[in-house]
Amino acid sequence: MNTKCIIALGNPGQEYKDTRHNVAQRVFSQLERYSVLSWETKHKLYAEICFWIPSGAKKKFMLIKPTVYMNESGKTVNNVCAYFGIGSDEILVIHDELDLAPGKAKIQFGGGTAGHNGVLNICKSLQNQKFKRIRIGIGHPRALGLHQSVSNFVLQRPSEDEGEAIGKVVKFCSNFLGEICQMTAIEANSYFQQGVKEWG
């Protein structure tokens, strides 16, 4: 596919590793169960970077974990794209999604931010919304019957039941990455641009 760069949003630091806001980076952790990923910190790019060759694929893909906080994600994406000469239509961003229940995920090309600060910052930095996305559901505190603010909710770990549901869709998403990386550019672009697809 024409995607060159796959970015999993999240906050840096061990204290955030298992929080709802960092579920996207669990997709990379899942990949590490089957592939050796050698990460290198690029301070000037505000990113951890590694190159991944999926099983059966003929080319390598760049995996990115921002080293800045979620609401500064655009700094990482903009620097990486500028340094490597990557266009917005050549990136795939994986992120958590409040508007989807745990165990659900959607893919799409372009569209709004749904209030996600990381995605909003990327759109501002790139000055467009034309990039591929995988949105992993974490649920909304109101929908889950929790009396807490969204800002606190996303920075906490999911419950055992939520975590199990999220774990299943994380595994599905990691498998999906392997599949789309073997598609031609035309096939992958068509798949994303046909419209929003929901899993789970």
Active site residues: 21
**Interstrand relation of 61-66 and 5-8 (parallel, antiparallel or unpaired):** parallel
> How is domain 5-199 classified at the CATH fold level?
Rossmann fold (3.40.50)
Please write the tens of the pLDDT for every residue from 69-79: 999 999 999 99
pTM score, whole prediction: 0.93
Give the up-direction half-sphere exposure of residue 90: CA atoms within 13 A in the CB hemisphere: 13
Per-residue pLDDT at 160: 95
Give every CB contact of residue 105 below 8 A, 6+ residues apart in sequence. 97, 134, 135, 136, 137, 169, 172, 173, 198, 199, 200
Domain ranges of the chain: 5-199
Give every CB contact of residue 110 below 8 A, 6+ residues apart in sequence. 129, 130, 131
Give every CB contact of residue 163 below 8 A, 6+ residues apart in sequence. 102, 157
Please write the tens of the pLDDT for every residue from 4-24: 999 999 999 999 999 999 999
> What's the first-to-final CA gap in the chain, in angstroms?
24
Q: Rounded distance, CA 63 to CA 191, Å? A: 21
